[in-house]
């Protein structure tokens, strides 16, 4: 299979799935959904602020009321979406969604892209990963997808090497070379910022970094300076239960999100870290 064919197939698949909108696909400004409510789950103050902005647009442009529910971890928003307590959620990338489905026999699907953020490695003790001493302790998220991404970032930085067979989901068991004898502290992603002073370095998801006063400018390494090189699996999405994927009101909410105004809001709230992934 040629690379050209793969790229064409991927583009066609994403367009069909609604992850990338075709030109001129946004509905005319009217209120065909007047009075309808959509319940959405998010996991950070920053995401809540962006969706508050989207909610005002949805009410004004389409008469849709967005009921935003703020969660404090990465598990409950998917549980709530699976059991029908939510209509959509917006906090995760495709890799995490697919892993959650596999582990929980879930039926969740991406409805469309939201934003993408490079993963940052932060430290209060060194200014470069090259300065890490032997036996240094590095905190990484304890969920498979974000933990795997953190390990790949450390490989990209030259700290470790991982088995290529592990793909985008390596674990610490897949580390094949560790010349600095780094010790990994696997913690809940939301708790890592609070543990930054206790370790030599830490991989912190951007939503939690922002909530704790950090930006990518503070990171000593980021994994995707060239976002085009970042796999689609690491791009965040609006997720929906398969049973609700054809609800037109959810597609309308997505189209309101995927606009220039929201793109600017993402940049403002994230201080330039979160970039539109639907373009």
Note the pLDDT of residue 20. 55
104 plus 240 within the same structural domain: yes
The answer to whether residue 234 sits within a structural domain is yes
Note the pLDDT of residue 127. 97
Who's near 278: CB < 8 A, 6+ residues apart? 19, 20, 21, 112, 113, 114, 258
125 plus 215 within the same structural domain: yes
What is the mean pLDDT for each group of 10 consecutive residues in the chain (279 residues)?
40 50 46 92 95 97 97 95 98 93 97 91 97 98 92 94 92 97 96 97 90 90 75 92 95 98 94 85
The answer to whether residue 11 sits within a structural domain is no
Note the pLDDT of residue 10. 43
270 plus 258 within the same structural domain: yes
The Cα 121–Cα 202 span in angstroms is 5
The Cα 192–Cα 2 span in angstroms is 41
The answer to whether residue 58 sits within a structural domain is yes
63 plus 187 within the same structural domain: no
The answer to whether residue 10 sits within a structural domain is no
Are the C-beta atoms of 243 and 107 separated by less than 8 Å? Answer: yes
174 plus 112 within the same structural domain: no
Q: What pTM does this model have?
A: 0.69
The Cα 44–Cα 49 span in angstroms is 9
Q: Residue 100 to residues 3, 39, 174, 279: CA-CA distances in angstroms? A: 29, 20, 20, 26
106 plus 29 within the same structural domain: yes
Domain of 267 in residue numbering reads as 17-117+230-276
SS3 content of the chain, % helix, strand, coil (to 5): 45, 20, 35
For residue 137, how many other CB atoms are within 10 A of its CB? Answer: 16
- Sign, CA torsion 182/188/193/194: negative
Closest C-alpha to 26, from 253, 267, 277: 253
The answer to whether residue 9 sits within a structural domain is no
Which H/E stretch holds residue 82? Answer: helix 76-82
Closest C-alpha to 155, from 133, 136, 129: 129
87 plus 125 within the same structural domain: no
Hunting for tokens 């902005």 — which residue is that? 53
78 plus 145 within the same structural domain: no
Looking at 207, 223, 239, which one is the last position of a domain? 223
Note the pLDDT of residue 223. 85
105 plus 161 within the same structural domain: no
The answer to whether residue 7 sits within a structural domain is no
Who's near 122: CB < 8 A, 6+ residues apart? 196, 201, 202, 203, 204, 209, 214, 218, 219, 220
172 plus 252 within the same structural domain: no
Give the CATH number of the domain where residue 46 resides. 3.40.190.10
The answer to whether residue 4 sits within a structural domain is no
Q: Say what the alpha-carbon torsion angle 250, 253, 28, 267 is, to the nearest 10 degrees.
A: -150
The answer to whether residue 6 sits within a structural domain is no
What is the count of structural domains for the chain?
2
124 plus 112 within the same structural domain: no
234 plus 180 within the same structural domain: no
Which H/E stretch holds residue 255? Answer: helix 248-257
Note the pLDDT of residue 15. 46
């Amino acid at each position: 299979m040629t690379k050209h064919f793969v790229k064409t197939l991927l583009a066609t698949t994403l367009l069909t799935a609604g992850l990338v909108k075709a030109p001129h696909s946004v509905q005319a400004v009217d209120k065909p959904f007047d009075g309808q409510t959509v319940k959405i789950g998010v996991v950070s103050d920053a995401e809540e602020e962006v969706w508050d902005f989207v909610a005002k647009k949805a009410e004004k442009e389409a008469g849709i009321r967005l009921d935003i529910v703020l969660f404090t971890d990465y598990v409950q928003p998917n549980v709530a979406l699976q059991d029908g307590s939510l209509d959509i959620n917006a906090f995760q990338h495709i890799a995490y969604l697919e892993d959650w489905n596999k582990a929980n026999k879930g039926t969740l699907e991406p409805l469309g892209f939201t934003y993408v953020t490079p993963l940052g490695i932060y430290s209060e003790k060194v200014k470069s990963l090259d300065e890490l001493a032997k036996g240094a302790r590095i905190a990484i998220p304890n969920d498979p997808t974000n933990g795997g991404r953190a390990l790949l970032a450390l490989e990209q930085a030259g700290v470790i090497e991982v088995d290529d067979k592990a793909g985008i989901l390596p674990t610490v068991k897949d580390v094949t070379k560790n010349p600095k004898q780094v010790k990994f502290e696997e913690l809940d992603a939301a708790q890592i910022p609070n543990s930054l002073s206790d370790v030599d370095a830490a991989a912190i998801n951007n939503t939690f970094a922002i909530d704790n006063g950090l930006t990518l400018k503070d990171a000593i390494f980021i994994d995707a300076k060239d976002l085009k090189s970042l796999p689609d699996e690491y791009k965040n999405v609006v997720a929906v239960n398969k049973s609700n994927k054809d609800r037109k009101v959810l597609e309308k909410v997505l189209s309101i999100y995927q606009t220039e105004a929201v793109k600017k809001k993402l940049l403002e709230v994230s201080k330039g870290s979160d970039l539109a992934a639907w373009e």
